[in-house]
Structure 1
Amino acid sequence: MSQVVKLLRDLIALPSVNNAFLPPGDPHAGEELVADYLKNRARKAGLEIETQATNSGRDNLIVRLKPLGQATHRIILAPHMDTVGGDLDKIFRPTKKGERLHGRGACDTKGSVAVMFHAMEHLAKRHRPTNTEIVFIGFVDEECNQTGSRAFSKLKLKANLALVGEPTRCRVVAAHKGDLWLRLSTRGKAAHGARPELGRNAVHTMAKCIDAIETEYAQNLGKRRHPVLGPPTINTGIVRGGSQPNIVPDICEADMDRRTLPGESFKTISREIGEVLKKRGLKARLANVKGYTCPAMETDPTLPMVQQFMRTVRQMKPLGVDYYCDAANIATTGVPAIVWGPGDIAQAHTADEWISIRQLERGMDVLTRFLLSLP
């Protein structure tokens, strides 16, 4: 069994479920066990260790590999340490089945943690760069509010490239969609259920609003196409209205998931939806549920360091993905960010999460060769 596989087994066995998915005080919650394990390995490898506080109350882990000479380049390796939950009696037992390693976080994203951290260890012990500083950042809270990458972006650390760990099957992703959670609210007038004509039913109004959004507005979105991301989308996920059957509801709310393209914002989207509803004589309020932005990300694939990494991967053109991740927050600082890592997003968050061992080892080979090629 290779060293990177052994490292991943150890990481899977350390619970790091995002605190949002478990009750307060649950021993399986938080990234601390993973961070402490990596700190111990970092000390043995002679790496510099820092932590960074975040709004989640948990700390990012920052590990630096200093070059032999003056640092003229910097590369950031940025996976996240938290996972989603599941059957807590089973998911932290790493199990090898053929050419697969099973367990929570195997692909999302402890596989990336293992590859990126072990590549740093390898260079620290045998091939320390001459002029390139390599910075590993183990983010907290990616699976909920991305407080880890949001806090890190405030450091405004300059770098030539950031590799953000996500399961891309070791393919380079240079663009991803943004994510905006919208809350649509309609108001009516309460009345007795026996005399509905005396009230105004907010649920009825909401039904008309949803119909307008899921038909006319969604069709308009389908006409917009990004070269690698495709069209933006909208989905109505939750509807809440009324308190009991014999009361005409005076309020109704619908929560919607709007996947955005580069350049779109809550302001522009709010205006678009407002115009569609106005055409049908409908009134509703629209709010940003999270209160912060999860923007789309697009990195210029012709940048020299991006091209160098793509040559190492042997990929001609970068891809785009429809999910949101920490890369966007890093990109807001001006650092070119790409998404890359072993594993397939199709296995992420599943009851039986797994990663291909062959792909894990390929990821280790690709990243090591890339880091060795740096000045």
Structure 2
Amino acid sequence: MNNDPIELLKELVSINSVNPDLVPGGAGEGKIADFCAAWLRERGFEVHRIEEHAGRPSIVGIARGSGGGRSLMFNGHYDTVSIASYDGDALDPVIRDGKLFGRGSFDMKGGVAAMMVAAARAKENGLRGDILVACVADEEYASFGSEEVAARFKADAAIVTEPSHHELTTAHRGFVWFDVIVQGRASHGSRPELGIDAIVKAGKFLVALEELDKRLRANPTHPLLGSGSVHASLIKGGEELSSYPAECRISLERRTIPGENAATVAAELQAVIAAIAAADPDFKATLAAGLERPPFEVAESEPIVAMLDRIATERLGKRPARRGEPFWTDCAILQGAGIPCVMFGADGGGAHAASEWAEVRSVETLADILTDTAVSFCG
């Protein structure tokens, strides 16, 4: 059986796995899940299929150890963004100038290929601990794939193989969504003495929101992530031109760093609202909480971090830099489930862009590093 990560990556890129929650009518993960399950089964893995959402399966392959060793999970998503905007055939993997082009090659089928091959190679060493390979759905939208996996499977540590350019990602930002509903009072446009313009009042909140963002970014407190931030994303209000609007709804996003969460953000926004209301008795607004995804941070003292650092240093000839990502990843889900987690992946570029590629040599090196780490960690 061929355990070449580049040959596997070609196979994965050629399978349409566009996330249908991002792109209505997208192919979903069914076909690529079938492929990964068969690939792992052929290599002696115990294969589990998790499909709480119809047509959106995740696959977990387990190589059981002989006993007495630590367990390690590799985690990577195989859903992609749209192929419609890709320049050329997004499903035709082409190697040119040391790069493999195709949708998902960088984000993140290169990491999935490397971790599958690494697990298969490590399995042949007769390890004491279990190796789990989680190929998950839906990371590009709501990450229910990793949530479903983390609810059913545990490990002593995990490595998420999102692309990190062979650097160790030990922290990333989270986010919280809120709606701010500004209340006015409806009246005919000819009766200003009766109406309160909710849209105009919302403008006061938007000015204050910009000031809050400036204060946050002027005070970086995290060594890798700096500070959080906040911005308005959507605004809706009014019924027709001839009326004072009774309501204006502002949807905002607050990016968070460790130590911040929905409760701290709500308190922050309530303070903004209270300050405006103190100066303007006609200003009234309420908050409605939306989706929250927590920030992520793992301690340097965690065994998986120290071991991956040592092995990557040996393979790369230099110590990998530490990264703090501004975006959210599935690391936070695994860490929140009690699985110490670190992110380490290949090099490349063009994530979500018209042209996307993975550096061939970096995917091969990633497979080597992950293999050595699994062998050392699992015993």
Q: Which amino acid in the other structure matches residue 173 of structure 1?
A: T
Q: Would the aligned equivalents of 2:184 and 2:284 in 1 still touch at CA under 8 Å?
A: no
Displacement after TM superposition at 1:49 (Å):
0.5
- Residue 202 of structure 2 is aligned to residue 202 of structure 1: no
Measure the CA separation in 1 of the matches of 2:93 and 2:189.
56
Task: Find the counterpart in structure 2 of residue 15 from structure 1.
Answer: 16
Measure the CA separation in 2 of the matches of 1:73 and 1:368.
15
Measure the CA separation in 2 of the matches of 1:316 and 1:58.
35
Displacement after TM superposition at 1:316 (Å):
5.9
Task: Find the counterpart in structure 2 of residue 250 from structure 1.
Answer: 246
Q: Would the aligned equivalents of 2:167 and 2:320 in 1 still touch at CA under 8 Å?
A: no
CA deviation string 1:331-358 (max 9, x = no partner) = 11211111111135x5211121211112
- Residue 357 of structure 2 is aligned to residue 354 of structure 1: yes
Counting matched residue pairs gives: 365
Alignment of 1:118-129 (within 5 A): 118-124=117-123, 127-129=124-126
Question: The residue matched to 2:243 in structure 1 has which SS?
Answer: coil
- Residue 74 of structure 2 is aligned to residue 105 of structure 1: no
Q: Which amino acid in the other structure matches residue 131 of structure 1?
A: R
Measure the CA separation in 1 of the matches of 2:53 and 2:172.
25
Please point out which of 326, 329, 333 is paired with 2:330: 326
Displacement after TM superposition at 1:71 (Å):
4.4
Alignment of 1:1-375 (within 5 A): 3-23=4-24, 26=25, 28-55=26-53, 58-67=56-65, 69-87=66-84, 90-124=89-123, 127-155=124-152, 157-216=153-212, 218-220=214-216, 222-281=218-277, 282-290=283-291, 293-314=292-313, 315=319, 318-344=322-348, 347-374=350-377, 375=379
Question: The residue matched to 1:159 in structure 2 has which SS?
Answer: coil
Displacement after TM superposition at 1:48 (Å):
1.1
Gaps of 5+ in 1: none
Q: Which amino acid in the other structure matches residue 287 of structure 2?
A: L
Measure the CA separation in 1 of the matches of 2:197 and 2:55.
43
Displacement after TM superposition at 1:270 (Å):
0.8
Change beyond 3 A, Cα 1:273–1:29:
same
Measure the CA separation in 2 of the matches of 1:343 and 1:285.
45
Normalising by structure 2, what TM-score? 0.90
Measure the CA separation in 2 of the matches of 1:301 and 1:73.
18
Measure the CA separation in 2 of the matches of 1:234 and 1:151.
30
Question: The residue matched to 1:262 in structure 2 has which SS?
Answer: coil
Q: Which amino acid in the other structure matches residue 269 of structure 1?
A: V
Q: Would the aligned equivalents of 2:216 and 2:229 in 1 still touch at CA under 8 Å?
A: no
Q: Which amino acid in the other structure matches residue 97 of structure 1?
A: R
Normalising by structure 1, what TM-score? 0.91
